[in-house]
Structure formats: structure tokens, C-alpha cells
Structure 1
Amino acid sequence: RTGAPVSEAYASAAAEARTAAENTAGLRPRLGRARPLADRSVGTPDPGATSLAAVLTAVATLRATTGSEPV
């Protein structure tokens, strides 16, 4: 939301990224390194999406614990 603290924005982005990463588990890869294992990879979340969610979660946690906001 407009005017919200940056820490809240990161927390919201991290939550959305985790949900989106979990939702990739049902997708069947058509391109990339997972394509040859397409049927076996169904049920496993996309590693890139999972990594992004982890990074955003770490940043959100750091922002929340330091309590600092940019000037």
C-alpha cells in the first residue's frame, strides 16, 4: 500500500513470493534444466522461485529486526 513502511512492503512481498513458489509445485516444466525430468519434477516447487522467496524472507526479517527505514 502507498505510504507503508519499507519493512511492511518486504514482509508482504516475501509472503507473496512464498505462496507463488509453493504454487509452482503443480507445474510441469517445458523449458530449462528440469524439462527432461518433467513428470518427476511435478510436486516439487521451482528452485528459482523458492530461492527468491528465501531471499525476500531474509530481507524482510532483517528489516523488521533492525527497525530502520531509509531516509
Structure 2
Amino acid sequence: AWDRAADTATDAAAATARLLPRKGRARPHAEKSLGTPDAGAHSLALITRAVHGALLNHH
């Protein structure tokens, strides 16, 4: 389940690169940020992948 969650989070983070920020810290950079994934979404994907790896190594 963690592997699927990590894959989904990675895909979702990548999809944020197409979004134009309208709120938050990225808003002032609007068009400049197009093509760059949301940092928070990317971080969550990395954390999810790390948890998956830790669980695999724990057993």
C-alpha cells in the first residue's frame, strides 16, 4: 500500500507543475513557477517513498 501511495503522491506532485498558483508563497511568481512541481507536494511524495523504504527494510 505504501508503494502505491508513494507512486500516487509522485504523480500528483508532478501534475502540480501545470497549475498556476493563486494563493500562498508561490503566487507572486505565478507564470515563472509553471513547469515546477509544488514543493509541498514533492516533499510529501519523498516522505511517502522514504516511509515505504523504511518499512521494507524493517521486516
- Judge same fold: TM > 0.5, yes or no: yes
Instruction: Identify unmatched segments of 5+ residues in structure 2.
Output: none
Tell me the TM-score normalised to structure 1 length: 0.80
In terms of fraction of residues, the more helix-rich structure is 2
Q: Which ranges in structure 1 are unaligned for 5 or more consecutive residues?
A: 1-8
Separation in 2, partners of 1:17, 1:56: 8
Normalising by structure 2, report the TM-score. Answer: 0.95
Runs of 4+ in structure 1 over 3 Å off? none
Aligned residue pairs: how many? 59
Distance apart, 1:11 and its partner CA: 0.9
RMSD: 0.6
Residue 46 (structure 1) aligns with: 38
| Structure ID, larger Rg | 1
